[in-house]
Structure 1
Amino acid sequence: MAIVVSDRPSGRLTEAWRFCVGTGRFELALRRDYQDSLALIQRDIGFRHIRGHGLLSDGVGIYQPYEYRGARQVRYGFGYVDQVVDAYLELGIRPFLELGFMPSALASGDQTVFWWQGNVTPPRSFAEWAELVRATVGHLVDRYGLDEVRTWPIEVWNEPNLKEFWRDADPEAYHHLYEVTAHAVKEVDAALQVGGPAISPGSDEWLVRFAEFVTDRSVPVDFVSRHAYTSGPAQHVPFGVHQTLQPAGHLLEQFAQPRQALAGSALAGLPVHITEFNSSYRPDNPIHDTAFHAAYLAPVLAHGGDLVDSFSYWTFSDMFEEVGVPTSLFHGGFGLLTHRQVKKPTYHLYAFLARMGDEILARGDDHLVTRDAGGRVSVLAWAPVDVTQPYPSPASGGAHRVQLSIPVGTAQTTSAAMVRSTVNEEAGNAWTAWAELGRPRSPRPAQLDTLRELAEPVRGHRSLPIVGGRVELDLTLSRHEVSLVEITAVADETPPWWDESRLLGHER
Structure 2
Amino acid sequence: MDSERKLMQFYFITKAEISAHYHQNPELFYILRGKMEVKIDDAVFLMNPGDMILINANKQHLMSAQSDDVLGARVEIDFHLLAEHMGTMQLFFWCNTVADKNEAYQDLRALLDRILARYFEKDDKGALYLNALYYETLYVLTSNFLIKTDDVRARYDDSQDSIRIRQIQNYIQANYQTQISLNDLADRLYLSNAYLSKYIKKNMGLTFMEYLNNVRLFHAVDELLYTKKNITHIALDNGFPTSAAFTKAFRDMYREAPSEYRKKAQNQQDITDHTQTLTEAERQHVMEYLKFREHKEAPEAKNSRQCTVDVKEIKEKLSSCCKAVSLGDAYSLLQSDVQSQLKEIQKESGVKYIRIWNLLSRENCFNEKEGYNFHKMDLVLDFLIENQMKPYLELGHKPTLFMYTPERSVKEEETTPGIYKIKVFQDIITALCLHLVNRYGVDEIETWYFEYWNAPQLKITDEDGAYYLYFETIYRTLKEISPAIKVGGAGFILGYETLLCKDIFQIWKKRDIHPDFLSFCSFQYVAMIESGIRYGRKSIDCSYIKNQVDIMKKVMEEAGFVPGEFHIDEWNFTISNRNVLNDSCEQGAYILKNFIDMNGSVDFMAYWHALDLYSDYYDTDSILNGDSGMISRDGIRKPSFYALSFMNRLLHNVLKRDENSIVTTNSRDRYVIACHNFKRLSSRYVFTEEDEIRIEELDDYMEDTDSIKLNFTLDNVKNGSYLVKIYYVNKENGSAQDIWKQMEYTKGLARDEIEYLKKSAIPCIEMKNIQVDDGVLEIENVLKAQEIRLLDIQYRYHM
Cα shift at 1:140:
1.3
Cα shift at 1:186:
2.9
Is contact 2:396-2:419 (8 Å) kept?
no
**Counterparts of 2:597 and 2:417 in 1: how far apart (Å)?**
35
Distance change (3 Å), C-alpha of 1:471 and 1:288 = same
**Counterparts of 2:635 and 2:728 in 1: how far apart (Å)?**
19
**Counterparts of 1:170 and 1:323 in 2: how far apart (Å)?**
35
**Alignment match, 1:214:** 508
1:81 aligns with one of 377, 385, 400: 377
Q: How does 1:313-392 map to 2 (within 5 A)?
A: 313-321=607-615, 326-388=620-682, 390=684, 391-392=698-699
2:433 pairs with 1:433? no
**Counterparts of 1:102 and 1:23 in 2: how far apart (Å)?**
12
**Alignment match, 1:260:** 554
Distance change (3 Å), C-alpha of 1:183 and 1:261 = same
Distance change (3 Å), C-alpha of 1:42 and 1:122 = closer
**Counterparts of 2:790 and 2:798 in 1: how far apart (Å)?**
24
* Corresponding letter in the other structure for 2:414: Q
SS of the aligned residue for 1:464 comes to strand
**Counterparts of 2:479 and 2:470 in 1: how far apart (Å)?**
14
SS of the aligned residue for 2:427 comes to helix
**Counterparts of 1:441 and 1:408 in 2: how far apart (Å)?**
54
**Deviation sequence 1:299-324 (CA, Å, 0-9, x none):** 21102133210111011111113976
2:426 aligns with one of 117, 121, 130: 130
**Alignment match, 1:106:** none
**Deviation sequence 1:374-417 (CA, Å, 0-9, x none):** 3311111211303116444766642210011114741xx22211
**Counterparts of 1:16 and 1:114 in 2: how far apart (Å)?**
32
Distance change (3 Å), C-alpha of 1:261 and 1:400 = same
**Alignment match, 1:62:** 365
2:403 pairs with 1:403? no
**Deviation sequence 1:416-436 (CA, Å, 0-9, x none):** 111000101121101111232
1:38 aligns with one of 309, 317, 342: 342
Cα shift at 1:327:
3.4
**Alignment match, 2:88:** none
Cα shift at 1:152:
0.9
**Counterparts of 1:272 and 1:346 in 2: how far apart (Å)?**
24
SS of the aligned residue for 2:561 comes to coil
* Corresponding letter in the other structure for 2:331: E
**Counterparts of 1:114 and 1:416 in 2: how far apart (Å)?**
54
2:468 pairs with 1:175? yes
Cα shift at 1:170:
6.0
**Counterparts of 1:437 and 1:64 in 2: how far apart (Å)?**
50
2:605 aligns with one of 283, 297, 311: 311
**Counterparts of 1:324 and 1:232 in 2: how far apart (Å)?**
31
TM-score, scaled to structure 1:
0.84
**Deviation sequence 1:26-48 (CA, Å, 0-9, x none):** 11100111111011111101111
2:493 pairs with 1:200? yes
**Deviation sequence 1:57-92 (CA, Å, 0-9, x none):** 234x211121xxxxxxx5211111010111111111
Cα shift at 1:94:
0.7
Q: How many residues align?
A: 459
Distance change (3 Å), C-alpha of 1:301 and 1:15 = same
**Alignment match, 1:250:** 544
1:13 aligns with one of 318, 322, 331: 318
Cα shift at 1:477:
0.8
**Deviation sequence 1:244-278 (CA, Å, 0-9, x none):** 65133012122333322110545315201111001
**Counterparts of 1:248 and 1:400 in 2: how far apart (Å)?**
17
Distance change (3 Å), C-alpha of 1:478 and 1:353 = same
**Counterparts of 1:487 and 1:118 in 2: how far apart (Å)?**
55
**Counterparts of 2:657 and 2:416 in 1: how far apart (Å)?**
45
TM-score, scaled to structure 2:
0.54
**Counterparts of 1:118 and 1:138 in 2: how far apart (Å)?**
30
Is contact 1:102-1:118 (8 Å) kept?
no
Identity %: 21
Is contact 1:403-1:472 (8 Å) kept?
yes
**Deviation sequence 1:172-211 (CA, Å, 0-9, x none):** 2323332333333334443321111112231123433333
Distance change (3 Å), C-alpha of 1:443 and 1:374 = farther
* Corresponding letter in the other structure for 1:456: I
**Alignment match, 1:443:** 749
Superposed CA RMSD in Å reads: 2.7
* Corresponding letter in the other structure for 2:470: L
**Alignment match, 1:142:** 438
Is contact 2:615-2:627 (8 Å) kept?
no
1:274 aligns with one of 538, 561, 568: 568
**Counterparts of 2:515 and 2:659 in 1: how far apart (Å)?**
36
**Counterparts of 2:771 and 2:703 in 1: how far apart (Å)?**
32
**Alignment match, 2:484:** 191
Cα shift at 1:118:
7.4
**Alignment match, 2:761:** 455
Is contact 1:101-1:118 (8 Å) kept?
no
Is contact 2:542-2:680 (8 Å) kept?
no
**Alignment match, 2:594:** 300
* Corresponding letter in the other structure for 1:203: E
Cα shift at 1:122:
4.3
* Corresponding letter in the other structure for 2:471: Y
**Counterparts of 1:232 and 1:446 in 2: how far apart (Å)?**
44
**Counterparts of 2:469 and 2:660 in 1: how far apart (Å)?**
46
**Deviation sequence 1:417-458 (CA, Å, 0-9, x none):** 110001011211011112322324443211111111111000
Distance change (3 Å), C-alpha of 1:269 and 1:148 = same
Distance change (3 Å), C-alpha of 1:120 and 1:183 = farther
Cα shift at 1:352:
0.7
Cα shift at 1:371:
0.7
**Alignment match, 2:30:** none
**Deviation sequence 1:341-372 (CA, Å, 0-9, x none):** 21100111110111111211111111111112
